[in-house]
Amino acid sequence: MSEADNSRPSRIALLGVPIEIGAAQAGPLMGPDALRTAGIARLLEQLGFSVDDHGNLAIPAVVADGPVPANTKFYDEVKTWTRALSERAYWLAHSGAIPIFMGGDHSLSMGSINGVARYWQEKGRPLFALWVDAHADYNTPATTITGNMHGMSAAFLCGEDGLDNLLGGLPRASIPPDQLDLIGTRSVDPLERKLLRERNVSIADMRQIDEFGVAVLTRRVIDRVKAKNGVLHVSFDVDFLDPAVAPGVGTTVPGGATYREAHLIMELLHDSGLVRSLDIVELNPFLDERGRTARVAVELIGSLFGLQITDRPTPSNAVLPEMGE
């Protein structure tokens, strides 16, 4: 590994993951190329990073090597993607670059985070996941209403039962539920809610955002990660944003975050220096308005990696400037 674990890496690896079978609506497979068209690599290079675009993960041949759990649509296809992506994510993390996984629906996180978590477990550092999403994605085959596997990705990450053969013989690098933080949540299924409560998963829903603001809630996550000498994976679903800001998603939920709230979260995460990997998922160009959602997503990624209007100390709350400065 070319960068020390505690230094801020200077290289970014982009990988497109054009998977959409985990979701209910076609279109997310076009997400990676929409992000490229919106200038993701160019922006990151302007911020001083060396960017290596690894293209799109090739669609692997579907493997059917065991029973299919009930209530799991396209299980064998998702399983095949998950195994291929987990291995690729593991080696990208090994390279010392920050991997950005461009989706694609949220089922890709079953592979991306597993591979990254496997790497950090070998390094002896805990991986925390910040789930920036309108949905909790903490369903299992036993709790799901739809059977869509993009709604099971966080549960799989935390080692829940029901998808035990998804990785086959590959290592399953689960994280404990207390290392998962949900923010922006506003759509949770009844049995999913019960499971989240039993696991005591930290949830900052939209009411908490309204009451306390995103700065307080984001800093709470940052403090928990720092206290354990951890690193952070951000899994960003564009439906976290209000549909008025980001219409190009298949599962819009009214009452989402504003453009400014989302940027503040990203700016605070950048200031923390903890982010070592990122998913950007559920962008559906087929439903977008002239590339608007893709541009917003790229702008938010810019804030996550250091784009700012004026020079200021880091962390951003270090000194309150005098008026006129």
Q: Which residues are catalytic?
A: 106, 133, 135, 137, 150, 237, 239, 282
Structural contact between residues 291 and 38, judged by C-beta atoms closer than 8 angstroms: yes
| Amino acid (one-letter) located at 118 | R
Q: Which residues contact 100 (CB under 8 A, 6 or more apart)?
A: 12, 13, 14, 15, 40, 277, 278, 279, 280, 301
CA distances in angstroms from 295 to 31, 119, 252, 291, 325, listed in the order given: 12, 31, 17, 6, 30
Q: Return the closest-CA partner of residue 299 out of 276, 272, 269, 267.
A: 267
Exposure string of 236-274, with b = 16+ CB inside 10 Å and e = fewer, is bbbbbbbbebbbbbbbbbeebbeeebbbbbbbbbbbbbb
Query: What one-letter code names the amino acid at 215?
Result: A
Cα 185 from Cα 196, distance rounded (Å): 12
For the CA atoms of the chain, what is the radius of gyration? 18
Measured CA to CA, the distance from residue 214 to residue 269 in angstroms comes to 11
Give, in order, the Cα–Cα distances in Å from 245 to each of 38, 215, 217, 253: 16, 20, 21, 12
Residue 41 CA to residue 98 CA, distance in Å, equals 13
- The amino acid sitting at 216 is V
Per DSSP, the three-state class of 185 is strand
